[in-house]
Amino acid sequence: AAMPLFIGYFQMKKQGQAIREEGPKWHNSKAGTPTMGGLVFLIGSILTGIWVGAWQKQLTPTLFILLFVLALYGVIGFLDDFIKIFKKRNMGLNSKQKLIGQILGGIIFYLVYRSEGYPGVLNFFGLDLPLGIIYGIFALFWLVGFSNAVNLTDGIDGLVAGLGSISFAAYGLIAWHQHQYDVLIICLSVLGGLLGFFVYNRKPAKIFMGDVGSLALGGLLAAISIMLNQEWTLLLIGLIYVMETASVMLQVTSFKLT
């Protein structure tokens, strides 16, 4: 219900997504399309998660740390989007500023993760590897890496909203199977928000989710895979994100070498 109002506000203010001049020419038609739609479904997902968690007596530290990751990575993306729109150009926070925020979020997540008695054991395709403090480094890499991977994938109408819906539905099933109902609540809350957003984001998109949505979704997926001790499954569930990131890295490397 809030999305049409959000779209209308951006259209009234004539504020929307700037398009890079060096990008594909077919992207030019998207210039001026309202962005930051992720803010709406993030707020809805967080409020729903807290409400359902209270109703089902599942307001656990796990639920709150997952909401924290969603919110903090969303704030990083929000600042990035806000600067882009305010300055009317396709540049926001620089990579160093983003990285500092993402690492900070990863450190806090890991500290809470260990304080709750989670062992820091990496599930490597079914093989448990007790990594100790090294697992903390892995957790940071996982959150930062996948938040950026989802962000890089968000370039086609409805793509991340659709893939994200599938990803959170998959982790919802895993959480249900493992009886981790606090994680299930988060998965379903975000899934509901994404499905509602997809209606407005499918081709031709009336609004983009922006970095506020994509960075938050990627960070949350990584955090959920860790909480479920199903880290390796993200390489399958998030295969498109991995492939997109690998493609971008290859293109950048090729460009630098030529």
Residue ranges of the chain with pLDDT lower than 50?
Answer: 20-29
Beta-carbon count within 10 A of 54 CB: 11
Q: What is the pLDDT of residue 28?
A: 44
Q: What is the pLDDT of residue 15?
A: 59
Q: Cα separation of 146 and 166, whole Å?
A: 16
Backbone φ and ψ for 144, nearest 5 degrees, come out as -65, -45
Q: What is the pLDDT of residue 24?
A: 43
- Maximum Cα interatomic distance, the chain, rounded to a whole number of Å: 58
pLDDT per residue as tens digits for the range 177-234: 999 999 999 999 999 999 999 998 888 888 889 999 999 999 999 999 999 999 999 9
Q: Cα separation of 239 and 214, whole Å?
A: 16
Six token digits for residue 43 = 């707020």
Query: Does 128 count as an annotated binding residue?
Result: no
Using an 8 Å Cβ cutoff, are 206 and 33 in contact?
yes
Q: Cα separation of 68 and 87, whole Å?
A: 28
Q: Cα separation of 207 and 214, whole Å?
A: 13
Query: Does 211 count as an annotated binding residue?
Result: yes
Among candidate residues 194, 171, 187, 162, the one with its CA nearest the CA of residue 42:
194
Q: Cα separation of 130 and 178, whole Å?
A: 20
Task: Give the three-state DSSP class for 7.
Answer: helix
Q: What is the pLDDT of residue 125?
A: 85
For the residues of 105-166, what is the DSSP string, one character each?
HHHHHHHHHHHTT---EEEETTEEEE-TTHHHHHHHHHHHHHHHHHHHHTTSTTHHHHHHHH
Q: What is the pLDDT of residue 93?
A: 86
Using an 8 Å Cβ cutoff, are 77 and 97 in contact?
no
For the residues of 221-244, what is the DSSP string, one character each?
HHHHHHHTT-TTHHHHHTHHHHHH
pTM, two decimals, is 0.90
Q: Cα separation of 174 and 16, whole Å?
A: 38
User: Is the torsion defined by CA of 48, 50, 53, 58 positive or negative?
Assistant: positive
Task: Give the three-state DSSP class for 76.
Answer: helix
